[in-house]
Amino acid sequence: MRVPGRQLHVQAGDLLGDEAYRDEMVATARQEIAAMVPDRSWMQWAAHLAPTITIAAITAWPDAGQPDPETAAKRIRQTVVAVVDAACRPPAS
């Protein structure tokens, strides 16, 4: 992640390894996702996966050469939308 004047190095494991922080992220995701995913088990799955995939996407972006900075946030959001969508629907046959 780049901040003007300095370089920040954040590893996904640094954020996901802090259990209290991870629990807070999952609780926040659960609140946002609950109304969209009717099945409680799949809602829990999506609530746990959404923060993980978001952090992984953010930390992978600099490693990929920071492509398309103007659309990066929207693309990362699309990954979370895909997780919620997968939790809402049965798999295609």
Using 50, 70 and 90 to split pLDDT, how confident is the model at 1? very low
Report the predicted TM-score, pTM, of the whole model to 2 decimal places: 0.75
Kindly report, residue by residue over 27-77, the tens digit of the pLDDT. Answer: 999 999 999 999 999 999 999 999 999 999 999 999 999 999 999 999 999
Give me the long-range contacts of 30-34 (CB less than 8 A, separation at least 24): 33/84, 33/87
Residues 6 or more apart whose Cβ sits within 8 Å of residue 52: 12, 16
In this structure, the dihedral spanned by the alpha carbons of residues 12, 14, 15 and 16, taken in order and rounded to 10 degrees, is 70
d(CA 88, CA 74): 21
d(CA 92, CA 72): 28
Domain positions in the chain: 2-88
